Structure 1
Amino acid sequence: MREEALLQIIKALQAGRVPQLGVEDFPCFGAQATQGNPHIAPQTAQDIAQGLTAADIPTFERALAAMREGELAWLGFKVVYDGAAAQANTDNNVTKKYGELGSATAQGGVFFCSDAKEIVASWEYSPRDTFQMKDVTRGPSMHTEQFEGLTWCSVPLFGSVRVWLLGASDVASEVAALADHVGFQVTVVDDDAAYLNEERFPLAERILVGDFSELDGIDAAPTDYVCVLTRGHMHDPEGCLWATRHNAHYVGMMGCAGKNNTVYELCVQNGMTDAQWESVKRPIGLKFGAKTPAELAIAIVAELVDVRYRERYSEEARNKHEASLGR
């Protein structure tokens, strides 16, 4: 999502024109996100745009402010494909009761929702609408398709975390696909084009270096995550040194204890402190017996998700969330 896209939408509505909701800024309507979904397609974005009016300007203005402030917030869309069914009450004995009314209206629309559960929308919404607007901020969820006649989608108004995969190994290939799927921005670095190619990393940014000493010419941000996954572990020391020099928020390295001791010695010889070494998660990933590249990727990406969760939410918020799940 770009600020410029929101500004253009606001200007169009102020001028009484139908705005453009491009899938590059609203990927929830893109071909990849809607594949196999019978109710949302790329055309749905413009169908919703046709119904927007000047009354929706405050929703987009609030989204713009949230983006500028770096809030955890989302711009969401209510998509109606059967108005009568959308307004019907279809609660059952399992679901929480939201009153006799389903959705308050038979029309779709746009809304803003923050992690603090602030909602801004021009249209009337029911208790069940409120529940689903809050829920869709997780992205596609089990409640998005809960009720007949309507569905929901959203786009985050905050930036994604960049994950660096140092090495184009088989594990890195699996990690790249999973990390992209759960919302990370993935960059892969390797020194061999035979491994670092579009076929193995179709969704990631790819940086081909002559050798791993060229990492020093690449910048990373302190907010980035780094996974050291070089082929055969041959360039793990260069990867660890580069990540710690850039003070990456998270650094993880795959490998066994014996290999890690060798990497430690090489890193210390090249200026790494013991404190920096201890900050490297070894071995990378959550512990649950993963062995194959695909299994290891699940363990690694699960850990990245957990690190991101703890970074974004306070301990109090996390405890409240875990309690709500009964954990």
Structure 2
Amino acid sequence: MKREIIEAIIADLRERRVPSLAAEDFPAFSEEATAGDPHIGPETLATIAATLTEADTPTFERALRAMDEGDLAWLGFKVVYDAAAAQANVDNEVTKKYGETGSADGEPLVFFCNDAKEIVASRELSPRDIFQAKDVTRGPSMHNDQFDGLTWASAPLFGKVRVWLLGASDAAVEVAALADHVGFHVVAVDHDPAFLNEERFPAAERIMLHGGNFDELANMPARPDDYVCVLTRGHMFDPESCIWALQNGVHYVGMMGCAGKNSTVHDLVVAGGVSEADWDRVKRPIGLKFGAKTPAELAIAIVAELVDVRYRQRYSAEARERHEKSLGRS
């Protein structure tokens, strides 16, 4: 989400103009995301925008503050397609009932919700609405068809975590597809166009190194919140990759390979000026352990670990405590 988009919406509302909401800024409403859904699409944004008034300004102001503070937060959208059904339905015969009231009203609503489950909206929500509104923190659309007459969508107010795939190996191909699918910004790096190309990495940002090696990697900056997966073909450039990741102080770095190979890489990395303490930061072997062998299976193990690292990094201590308990890890 771009800050200027929220600022423009606030300016329009203050001037009592109908703001412009575009699917490119709110991807949950794009044609791709809503294909086959008869109740929501790009045109839904115009309907929602027409209902916004100056009273909705605090919702977007709270969103702006969350962006400035780096809060884990979302703009949520209540989309009503059958007002009578939305208000009348209180029980779907599976989930528990949330009182004797269905949706609070039959009108669309834009609201703010963050990891702490703080909700800001221009109108009061019913208990059942609150139950579903909080679920926008799970993603663009979660539990969106539980009750008749309405559906829900959301747009994150924070950016994607960038994942560097150092090496265009077959495992990296599989990791790139899965990591993109679960919301990472994927950057694939290699020196050989036969392996690093659009056909193998269609959704990734691709960086081609020159000279037949990884020497140019040293000239590329990484951010402290980046993740690095060392997956070079034949492990030939694992030492350079580990040194680069550690010297850039990335949040996470993992390397594929057996213990014997890792011992050799260790000696080369330490000889390159990396401390033992920094070397210990390298997750080796990369990925969760569950018997993965093939490139596709290894990718599942690796991306599962990336998701877990992202969860631990992003969510509040209170939210992590609740979730860790549910996972049996507390």
TM range (shorter): over 0.9
2:147 alignment partner in structure 1: 147
Q: TM-score, structure 2 length as denominator?
A: 0.94
1:277 alignment partner in structure 2: 279
Matched positions, count: 327
Q: How far off is 1:192 after superposition?
A: 1.4
Q: Which moved more, 1:25-34 or 1:7-16?
A: 25-34
Q: Which moved more, 1:15-24 or 1:101-110?
A: 15-24
Q: How is 1:1-327 mapped onto 2 (pairs within 5 angstroms)?
A: 1-140=1-140, 142-210=142-210, 211-323=213-325
Q: How far off is 1:141 after superposition?
A: 5.4
Q: Percent identity?
A: 70
CA contact under 8 A between 2:72 and 2:315: conserved in structure 1?
Answer: no
CA distance in 2, matches of 1:230, 1:325: 33
CA distance in 2, matches of 1:93, 1:49: 33
CA contact under 8 A between 1:243 and 1:251: conserved in structure 2?
Answer: yes
Letter in 2 for 1:297: A
CA distance in 2, matches of 1:227, 1:37: 36
Letter in 1 for 2:197: N
CA contact under 8 A between 2:92 and 2:147: conserved in structure 1?
Answer: no
CA distance in 2, matches of 1:34, 1:145: 13
Q: Which moved more, 1:67-76 or 1:199-208?
A: 199-208
Letter in 2 for 1:255: G
Letter in 2 for 1:267: V
Letter in 2 for 1:294: A
In structure 2, list runs of 5 or more residues that go unmatched. Answer: none
In structure 1, list runs of 5 or more residues that go unmatched. Answer: none
Q: For 1:57, what is the secondary structure of its paired residue? A: helix
Q: TM-score, structure 1 length as denominator?
A: 0.94
Q: For 2:287, what is the secondary structure of its paired residue? A: coil
CA distance in 2, matches of 1:51, 1:230: 52
CA distance in 1, matches of 2:215, 2:203: 25
CA distance in 2, matches of 1:175, 1:311: 20
CA distance in 2, matches of 1:73, 1:12: 22
Q: How far off is 1:214 after superposition?
A: 0.3
Root-mean-square deviation (Å): 1.8
Q: How far off is 1:321 after superposition?
A: 2.5
Q: Which moved more, 1:88-97 or 1:213-222?
A: 88-97
Q: How far off is 1:194 after superposition?
A: 2.1
Letter in 2 for 1:283: P
Kindly tell me: are residues 299 and 36 of structure 1, through their superposed partners in 2, closer, same or farther at Cα, counting changes over 3 Å? farther
Q: Deviations over 1:16-66 (max 9, x none)?
A: 222111223211112332233332212222221122111111111111111
CA distance in 2, matches of 1:143, 1:50: 25
Q: For 2:177, what is the secondary structure of its paired residue? A: helix
Kindly tell me: are residues 68 and 148 of structure 1, through their superposed partners in 2, closer, same or farther at Cα, counting changes over 3 Å? same
Q: Deviations over 1:272-302 (max 9, x none)?
A: 2222222100110000111121111111111
Q: How far off is 1:315 after superposition?
A: 4.8
Q: For 1:113, what is the secondary structure of its paired residue? A: strand
CA contact under 8 A between 1:167 and 1:228: conserved in structure 2?
Answer: yes
CA distance in 1, matches of 2:156, 2:5: 14
CA distance in 2, matches of 1:75, 1:316: 21
Q: Deviations over 1:199-218 (max 9, x none)?
A: 22222211111131100110
Q: Deviations over 1:135-182 (max 9, x none)?
A: 121114552221121111111112221111111112111111211222
CA distance in 2, matches of 1:319, 1:141: 24
